[in-house]
Structure 1
Amino acid sequence: MSSRASSARPPRLKEPLAPQLPAPLHPAGLPDHGLEDDGMYRSLEFTGTDMASHRADAVDFEGCRFTDVRLSGMEMRQAGFSNVEMERCDLSNSAAGSSMMQRTRVSASRLTGMSWSECVFRDVVFDACRVDLAGFRFSTFKNVVFRDCTMVEASFQNAGLRGTRFERCELTGAQFSNARMEGARFTDCTLLRINGVTGLRGATITSRDAQGLVYSLAGAMGITIED
C-alpha cells in the first residue's frame, strides 16, 4: 500500500454570512428627539434620514436597510447592528464603544475618522468604503472582509484580526501595534509606512504586497536603507 504525501494548505476562508432582511421593510420615522436609549428598530428602511450627532445607549437595529443616511458624529454605546445593509451612508467621526456589528454589509460609505473601540465585528463586509483615519482599537473581528477600501492611517492597535481579509485596500500609514493577526490575509494591498509592523506576525501577505513592507520592517529592526 502506497501513500501520497500532501503539502499543507492554508485553511479556506469562509465568505461572511450575508445579511438576511425581512420582507417587506417598513419606512422608518424617527421621533423629534431622535433615537431613544434602549430603543429597538426592526425591519425598517431608512432612506435619506439624518441622524448626525445623535446620541443613544443600548440601541439595536435588526433587519434594517440604510441608504444615503447621515450618521456622522453619532455617539453610541452598547449598540447593536444585526442583519443590516448600509449603502452610501456617512458614518464619519461617529463613535461607538462596547458595540456589535454582525451579519452586516457596508458599501460605498464614508467612515473617515470613525472610532469604534472595544467593539465586535462578526460576518461583516466593508466594500468600496473610505475608512481613512478610522479607529478600531481593542476591537475583535471574526470572519470580516475589507474590500476595495481606502484605509490610510486607520488604526487597529490591540485589535483581534485573526482571519480578517484585506483585499485591494490602500493601507498606507495604518497602525497594527499589538494586533493579533494569525490567519489574516492581505491581497493586492498597499502597505507603505505601516506602523507597528511586527503586529502583522501570523498574517499571510502576497509577495508583491510584501515589497511595500521593506522600509517599515527595516525601521522596526533599526536598519537604515540607503539608495
Structure 2
Amino acid sequence: MAPRIRRFTLPELARGYRGDLGDDYIELLHFRDFDAPLAADGARLEECRFSSVQIESVRNARLIQCELEQAGAPALQAAGVFLNDVRVNHSRFGSADFAEAQLDGVVFENCKFGWLNLRGATVRDVLFRNCQFEEIDLGGRIQRLGFADSRAGQINCHGAQLREVDLQGLDFADVEGVDGLRGAQISSLQLGLLGEAMASHLGIKLGS
C-alpha cells in the first residue's frame, strides 16, 4: 500500500533566468532567489530545481525529475499540470489547485497548505511527510497515497475514488463525504473520530 517513490539525483545545473521560462522545453536549470512570482504555463521542465521563489502558475505544464525547495505562493494555479518524480520541500501555499492534474511519484515534505485541491486529479504514488493542511479535497482518482506525521483540519471526500490510500499518518479533525473513504485505510482511533459522521450518513441517531 505504501507509495512507490523512485529516487533520482539531479546533475550539475546552470543558473536559470526568468526569460528561460518562456521556452516550451526547459532542462538542467536552477531557478533561485526571484522576488517576483514565476509562471511556466504549458512548459516542459526536466531535471530542474526551484529554490527560494514564488511560483504563481504552472497550468498544463510538465515537470519531470524536478525539485522545489522553499517555494510557495498565496495561490498556486496548477490545474492540468503533470508531475512525474518531483520533490517539494519546506514550501508553503495559501492554496494549491491541482484540479485535473496528474501526480506520479511525488513527495511533499515539511510543507504547509491552506487548501489543497485534487478534485478530478489522477494521483499515484504520492507521499506527504510532515505536512499541514487546512483543507484537502480528495475528489479525484487516487492510488497509493500516503501521509506521515501530517495534520489536516478537514478532508473532503465527495466523489473520491480511492485505492490503497493510507490515512493513518494524517491527523484530521473533520471529514466531508464519508462514503468517499471507501478504499482508504484508517486507524482504530480515526474510526472512533469518524463515528458521528458515519452515523449521520447512515441515518443513525445517537443517544445521549
- Report which stretch shifted further, 217-226 or 86-95: 217-226
Q: Which amino acid aligns with 2:161?
A: R
The two structures have a TM-score, normalised by structure 2, of 0.90
| Residue of 13, 16, 21 corresponding to 1:35 | 21
Contact 2:3 2:144 in 1 (8 A): no
Question: 1:19 Cα deviation (Å)?
Answer: 3.5
Q: 1:180 pairs with 158, 161, 164, which one?
A: 161
1:19 touches 1:105 (CA, 8 Å); kept in 2?
no
The reply to whether residue 86 of structure 1 matches residue 71 of structure 2 is: no
Q: How many residues are matched?
A: 208
* TM-score of the aligned structures, taking structure 1 as reference length: 0.83
Pick aligned residue for 1:59 from 43, 46, 60: 43
Partner of 2:175: helix, strand, or coil?
Answer: coil
- What does residue 6 of structure 1 align with? none
> CA RMSD for the aligned pairs?
2.0
Residue 51 of structure 1 deviates from its aligned partner by 5.1
Q: How does 1:126-141 map to 2 (within 5 A)?
A: 126-141=108-123
Of 109, 115, 119, the residue aligned with 2:101 is 119
Q: CA deviation at 1:224?
A: 4.2
Cα distance between partner residues in 2 of 1:50 and 1:41: 21
Q: Is the Cα–Cα contact under 8 Å of residues 19 and 85 in structure 1 kept in the other structure?
A: no
CA distance in 2, matches of 1:51, 1:139: 28
Tell me how far apart the structure 2 counterparts of residues 225 and 168 of structure 1 sit (CA, whole Å).
32
The answer as to whether partners of 2:3 and 2:124 remain within 8 angstroms in 1 is no
Q: 1:217 aligns with which of 198, 201, 208?
A: 198
**Larger strand proportion of the pair:** 2
Unmatched 5+ stretches in structure 1: 1-11
SS across alignment from 2:152: coil
Deviation at 1:191, TM superposition (A): 2.7
Compare 41-50 and 209-218 and name the one that shifted more. Answer: 209-218
Could you give the per-residue CA deviations for residues 68-112 of structure 1, whole angstroms, max 9, x where no partner exists?
1111xx233320111011111113311122220110111111122
Task: Work out whether residues 164 and 185 of structure 1, in 8 Å CA contact, stay in contact via their aligned partners in 2.
Answer: yes
Q: Which has the higher contact order (CA 8 A, sep 6+)?
A: 2
Q: Name the residue aligned to 2:185.
A: 204
Provide the C-alpha distance between the structure 2 equivalents of 1:182 and 1:50, rounded to a whole number of angstroms. 40
- State the distance in 1 between where 2:181 and 2:130 align: 20
Q: Give the structure with higher Rg (CA).
A: 1
Q: Secondary structure at the match of 2:116?
A: coil
Stretch moving more, 185-194 or 132-141: 185-194
Identity, % of aligned pairs? Answer: 25
Q: Partners in 1 of 2:49 and 2:107 — Cα distance?
A: 15
